[in-house]
């Protein structure tokens, strides 16, 4: 019985062991079969970069931040590169079966004695370990698995196939994989053109890419490179003369100033700022296991490389001009300050014993020395640290560079440009700053929080047109005035250069960026209407953001909000797009490596716009057309007239060689401290916003660098370039709701034959003027002549009888003249004149005149009565204003006003 039990137990154990062995063998065979499939080099699918394509299907760049790889065939590589790899990594590669007993023993001995005697892995083991194990794990278990995989690869591949995988797959430096990508990164050319010395540099990257990076540690790399060349000479792969010549040529032409950066930043990129914007958009769009660094997507974008090239060209010119002019003006200011104020400060420091502020004090000399070291000596010291491997000095130079970067942000003019297609919202060009690199990644075109200055004005002018309080030809006075904010604090706006124009029409005030008329518009329509319209056009809907963005103070009308160029471009594009919503997009669709669409971004945008229904009409087409007509005046006669070379830049020829002028509209902007320079403008095709200024607040560009003089010419040049070859296209005029009327350029009323000039402007139906100009027509013109002269001058209203009584016109004492110059009195002159009973017109106060925005309804009656009185020989009132009582008076001042001096 006992024997029977033992037999059953033995049988059960045998069956169990057979099952375990069978399952294990089956799994091993299955895994081996999978390995065969994976190892098939034809089907081998390494990580592929994502391609970024422009609107015309041209390649912009590739994304492969983790694995920048370019496949190359072994037969295409030069022999000396293959020899260098064999000499350094595995001289016996073509003889062993995937492992080297001698190499394993050498590595083990090195571990025992604690000295690096060389690695024990063959090329096959390195490939197997990279593909099928984690080479960051240091254990005997991993080495055993690596050895087993290498045997499988030797069974499956030829030696040349294994070597080709090795040269295309191994990590070889910052973000680069394979010899082709590494060669382009380090040397700027293909591995097919690599020299002997360059091959040695690449080979040493295989063992320690960070330690032997020639950009970070040129001295270590040079020593190790020399040892590889010596090994090649030892194995007979090259001669001493060839090795020395190549070695010397390499280091004679080495650039010690080049910094080591990730391959992502050194990649070829036709539009780096746009590419970075697209990459950030992909971060928010992709989900799950989607990886645009490895999965080989194709991103179809909206960029037009022709537009981008023009943007880069003209922005580079604008930045160069801005920084040159800023440096010149800053130098002049400092020179003048030293000449004027330093002697005063020196005197005060000596008088009050304040040694630290003395111009020649130790503190001042220390500051000057530190500045000279940072700007002049530190770059030389940094180069020396690289050449001679002085790590402590390298740390010091790095800290000095950090301080220099901070000062640069405050004193270097930056810029941004963004251009979008009006109908589609396609972003066709984007410049985010001066140069995109690891230290300059703020995309100012989309991320900037910048005061737009006067370029903000059209946003609330749009609300003013809809209010019907104002029309394009409303008469407004551009004179000094005090506004009071809601908390009672006064605000006195100033115009550019302190100039005042007197009576102006609304379109003229906007075209020439007059501040007082604009704030009068804001005051008339109210903050609520202005903020609501501006927020709608800028695409801001969150009430909390609206409250933070738009302060309820009068400087709001001069653009003290924070906005990005993209937001401003979108707002103006709404004007160009007949008031319809414009949603800027950069990505149209994303395809996988097989051409299947995985993200259809544009379709989603169009569906969202369709769901908006009537809300997609941001403003009425009539309002958009009136605003476009107003902004066209900026180009035709305002602050963009000179930058566009009086319209010449927008003159083209059609297919019949006939000249035509492409219509343009826009607005410049310059905050009152001249810290920024803006131009936002559009055509029937595109809208472009341009900004120049500083990343850190506190500096001023100066009065010579404004929206008109700096951003304006860049905008005009860019718009001219991107419109080359396009047919004439006009802004769409609504079929209803708009009436074109020709008016007097002075009064804004209907034109008469006596008007000195006229202009035709569109009006919302029902707001057009219905009265003829009474300033340039017959009797009315003569009656208004004096009043018009007063309107052209700055007018100061006096509210103090005492002050008025103290003002007297100068009196000419004829009795003090020599007798020969005195005019004899007429014989029949009334005695009352000599007795002083009548008022002397030379000493009498001037008749007060109060300008009125609209003519008085009683004007016609007053003029008829005046003519009737004149026919009786009675004194005639030739002024257009009615006689005003002494309690309500004003004083009309001449061109020179001593009270305003």
Residue 867 pLDDT level (bands cut at 50, 70, 90): very low
Give all domains of the chain, ordered by start, each with its CATH number.
Answer: 65-266 (1.10.3810.10), 448-581+617-722 (3.40.710.10), 797-808+846-901 (no CATH)
- Model pTM score: 0.67
Q: Which residues have a Cβ under 8 Å from the Cβ of 224 and sit 6 or more positions away?
A: 204, 212
Q: Which residues have a Cβ under 8 Å from the Cβ of 582 and sit 6 or more positions away?
A: 420, 422, 425, 570, 573, 574, 687
Two structure tokens written together for 171: 């990590």
Contact 793, 890 (CB under 8 A): no
Residue 31 pLDDT level (bands cut at 50, 70, 90): low
pLDDT, position 54: 97
Residue 433 pLDDT level (bands cut at 50, 70, 90): very high
Instruction: Classify the C-alpha dihedral 601-607-613-614 as positive or negative.
Output: positive
Residue 844 has pLDDT above 60, yes or no: no
Alpha helices in 434-493 (DSSP H): 444-447, 457-467
Q: Which residues have a Cβ under 8 Å from the Cβ of 663 and sit 6 or more positions away?
A: 632, 650, 683, 684, 730, 731
pLDDT, position 229: 93
Higher pLDDT, 205 or 539: 539
Higher pLDDT, 358 or 894: 358
Q: Please compute the mean of the pLDDT values over residues 486-513 and round it to a whole number.
A: 90
Two structure tokens written together for 206: 């295989």
Query: What percent helix, strand, coil does the chain show, rounded to 5?
Result: 50, 10, 40
Q: Please compute the mean of the pLDDT values over residues 147-153 and round it to a whole number.
A: 80
Measured in degrees and rounded to the nearest 5, phi and psi for residue 497 equal: 60, 15
pLDDT, position 692: 97
Higher pLDDT, 55 or 791: 55
Residue 240 pLDDT level (bands cut at 50, 70, 90): very high
pLDDT digit string, tens, across residues 338-362: 566 667 776 666 666 666 555 554 4
pLDDT, position 384: 66
pLDDT digit string, tens, across residues 760-817: 999 999 999 999 998 886 544 444 544 444 444 343 444 444 444 544 444 544 555 5
Q: Name the least confident of 48-62, 372-386, 832-846.
A: 832-846
SS3 label, residue 735: coil
Q: Please compute the mean of the pLDDT values over residues 723-733 and round it to a whole number.
A: 97
SS3 label, residue 37: helix
Q: What is the number of alpha carbons within 13 Å of residue 290 lying toward its C-beta? A: 16
CA–CA gap between residue 91 and residue 237 (Å, rounded): 11
pLDDT digit string, tens, across residues 468-480: 999 999 999 999 9
Higher pLDDT, 165 or 693: 693
Q: Name the least confident of 703-712, 741-750, 807-816.
A: 807-816
CA–CA gap between residue 557 and residue 463 (Å, rounded): 12
Q: Which residues have a Cβ under 8 Å from the Cβ of 199 and sit 6 or more positions away?
A: 78, 80, 81, 84
SS3 label, residue 690: strand
pLDDT, position 402: 54
Q: Please compute the mean of the pLDDT values over residues 79-101 and round it to a whole number.
A: 83
Residue 558 has pLDDT above 80, yes or no: yes
In total, the chain counts a number of residues equal to: 901
Q: Please compute the mean of the pLDDT values over residues 725-751 and round it to a whole number.
A: 96
Parallel/antiparallel/unpaired status of strands 176-177 and 502-505: unpaired
Closest CA to 282 of 26, 642, 3, 598: 598
Q: Please compute the mean of the pLDDT values over residues 547-551 and round it to a whole number.
A: 95
Residue 229, judged by CB atoms within 10 A of its CB (0-12, 13-18, 19+), counts as buried
* Long-range own/partner contacts, residues 781-789 (CB < 8 A, 24 or more apart): 781/754, 782/878, 783/859, 783/863, 783/866, 783/878, 783/879, 783/880, 784/880, 785/878, 786/849, 786/878, 786/879, 786/880, 787/849, 787/851, 787/879, 787/880, 787/881, 788/746
Beta strands in 500-575 (DSSP E): 502-505
Q: Please compute the mean of the pLDDT values over residues 155-175 and round it to a whole number.
A: 82
Q: In which residue are the tokens 């001058």 written?
A: 793
Two structure tokens written together for 37: 């499939």
* Long-range own/partner contacts, residues 616-620 (CB < 8 A, 24 or more apart): 616/580, 616/581, 617/579, 617/580, 617/581, 618/536, 618/537, 618/574, 618/579, 618/580, 618/581, 619/462, 619/466, 619/533, 619/536, 619/537, 619/574, 619/575, 619/579, 620/466, 620/579, 620/737
SS3 label, residue 738: strand
pLDDT, position 123: 82
CA–CA gap between residue 781 and residue 153 (Å, rounded): 103
Task: Give, in order, the Cα–Cα distances in Å from 852 to each of 54, 273, 788, 795.
Answer: 58, 54, 11, 12
Strand partners for 627:
none
Residue 449, judged by CB atoms within 10 A of its CB (0-12, 13-18, 19+), counts as exposed
CA–CA gap between residue 880 and residue 898 (Å, rounded): 27
CA–CA gap between residue 304 and residue 429 (Å, rounded): 7
Parallel/antiparallel/unpaired status of strands 651-653 and 597-599: unpaired
pLDDT, position 761: 98
CA–CA gap between residue 239 and residue 581 (Å, rounded): 71
Residue 829 pLDDT level (bands cut at 50, 70, 90): very low
């Amino acid at each position: 019985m006992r024997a029977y039990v033992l037999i059953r137990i033995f049988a059960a154990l045998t069956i169990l062991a057979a099952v375990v062995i069978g399952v294990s063998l089956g799994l091993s065979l299955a895994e081996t079969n999978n390995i065969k499939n994976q190892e098939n080099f034809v089907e081998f699918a390494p990580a592929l970069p994502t391609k970024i394509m422009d609107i015309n299907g041209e390649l912009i760049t590739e994304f492969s931040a983790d694995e920048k790889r370019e496949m190359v065939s072994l037969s295409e590589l030069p022999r000396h590169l293959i020899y260098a790899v064999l000499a350094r990594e595995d001289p016996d590669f073509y003889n062993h079966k995937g492992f080297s007993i001698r190499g394993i023993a050498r590595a083990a001995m090195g571990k025992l004695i604690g000295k690096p005697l060389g690695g024990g892995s063959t090329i096959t083991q390195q490939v197997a370990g990279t593909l099928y194990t984690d080479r960051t794990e240091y254990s005997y278990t991993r080495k055993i698995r690596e050895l087993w995989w290498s045997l499988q690869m030797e069974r499956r591949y030829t030696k040349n196939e294994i070597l080709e995988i090795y040269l295309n797959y191994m990590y070889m430096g910052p973000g680069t994989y394979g010899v082709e990508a590494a060669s382009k990164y380090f040397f700027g050319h293909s591995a097919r053109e690599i020299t002997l010395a360059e091959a040695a540099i690449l080979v040493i990257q295989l063992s320690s890419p960070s330690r032997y990076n020639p950009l970070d540690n040129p001295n270590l790399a040079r020593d190790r490179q020399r040892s590889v060349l010596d090994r090649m000479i030892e194995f007979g792969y090259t001669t001493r003369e060839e090795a020395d010549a190549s070695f010397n040529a390499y280091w004679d032409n080495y650039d010690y100033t080049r910094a080591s950066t990730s391959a992502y930043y050194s990649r070829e990129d036709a539009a780096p700022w746009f590419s970075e914007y697209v990459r950030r958009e992909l971060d928010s769009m992709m989900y799950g296991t989607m990886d645009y660094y490895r999965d080989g997507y194709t991103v179809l974008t909206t960029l037009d490389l022709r537009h981008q090239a023009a943007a880069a060209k003209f922005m580079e010119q604008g930045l160069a001009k801005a920084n040159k002019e800023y440096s010149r003006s800053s130098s002049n200011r400092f020179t003048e300050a030293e000449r004027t104020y330093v002697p005063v400060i020196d005197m005060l420091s000596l008088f009050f014993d304040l040694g630290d502020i003395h111009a020649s004090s130790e503190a001042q000399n220390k500051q000057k020395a530190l500045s000279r070291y940072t700007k002049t000596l530190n770059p030389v010291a940094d180069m020396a640290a690289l050449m001679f491997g002085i790590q402590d000095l390298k740390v010091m130079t790095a800290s000095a560079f950090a301080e220099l970067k901070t000062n640069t942000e405050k004193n270097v003019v930056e810029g941004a440009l963004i251009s979008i297609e009006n109908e589609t919202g396609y972003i066709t060009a984007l410049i985010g700053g001066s140069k995109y690199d690891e230290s300059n990644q703020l995309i100012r075109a989309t991320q900037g929080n910048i005061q737009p200055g006067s370029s903000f004005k059209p946003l609330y002018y749009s609300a003013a047109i809809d209010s019907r309080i104002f029309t394009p030809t409303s008469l407004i006075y551009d004179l000094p005035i005090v506004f009071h904010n809601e908390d009672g604090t006064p605000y006195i706006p100033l115009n550019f250069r302190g100039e005042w124009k007197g009576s102006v029409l609304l379109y003229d005030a906007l075209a020439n960026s007059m501040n007082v008329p604009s704030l009068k518009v804001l005051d008339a329509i109210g903050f609520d209407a202005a903020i609501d319209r501006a927020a709608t056009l800028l695409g801001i809907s969150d009430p909390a953001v609206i409250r933070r963005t738009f302060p309820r103070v009068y400087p709001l009308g001069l653009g003290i909000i924070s906005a990005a160029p993209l937001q401003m471009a979108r707002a103006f594009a709404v004007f160009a797009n007949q008031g319809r919503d414009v949603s800027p997009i950069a990505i149209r669709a994303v395809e996988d490596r097989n051409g299947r669409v995985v993200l259809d971004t544009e379709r989603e945008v169009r569906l969202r716009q369709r769901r908006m229904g009537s809300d997609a009409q941001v403003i009425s087409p009539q309002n958009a057309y009136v605003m476009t007509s107003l902004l066209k005046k900026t180009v035709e006669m305002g602050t963009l007239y000179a930058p566009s070379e009086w319209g010449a830049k927008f003159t083209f020829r059609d297919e019949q060689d006939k000249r035509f002028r492409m219509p343009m509209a826009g607005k410049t902007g310059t905050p009152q401290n001249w810290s920024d320079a803006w131009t936002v403008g559009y055509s029937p095709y595109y809208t472009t916003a341009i900004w120049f200024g500083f990343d850190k607040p506190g500096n001023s560009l100066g009065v010579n660098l404004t929206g008109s003089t700096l951003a304006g010419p860049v905008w005009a040049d860019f718009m001219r370039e991107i419109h080359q070859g396009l047919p004439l296209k006009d802004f769409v005029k609504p079929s209803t709701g708009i009436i074109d009327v020709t008016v007097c350029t002075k009064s804004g009323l209907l034109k008469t034959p006596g008007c000195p000039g006229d202009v035709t402007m569109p009006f919302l139906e029902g707001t057009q003027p219905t009265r003829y100009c009474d300033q340039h027509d017959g009797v009315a013109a003569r009656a208004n002549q004096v009043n018009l002269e007063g309107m052209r001058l700055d007018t100061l209203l006096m509210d103090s009888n005492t002050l008025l009584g103290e003002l007297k016109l100068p009196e000419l004492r004829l009795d003090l003249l020599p007798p020969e110059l005195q005019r004899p009195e007429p014989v029949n002159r009334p005695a009352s004149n000599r007795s002083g009973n009548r008022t002397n017109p030379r000493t009498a106060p001037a008749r007060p005149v109060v300008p009125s925005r609209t003519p008085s309804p009683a004007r016609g009656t007053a003029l008829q009565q005046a003519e009737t009185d004149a026919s009786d020989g009675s004194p005639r009132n030739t002024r257009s204003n009615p006689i005003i009582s002494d309690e309500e008076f004003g004083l009309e001042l001449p061109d020179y006003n001593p009270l305003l001096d």
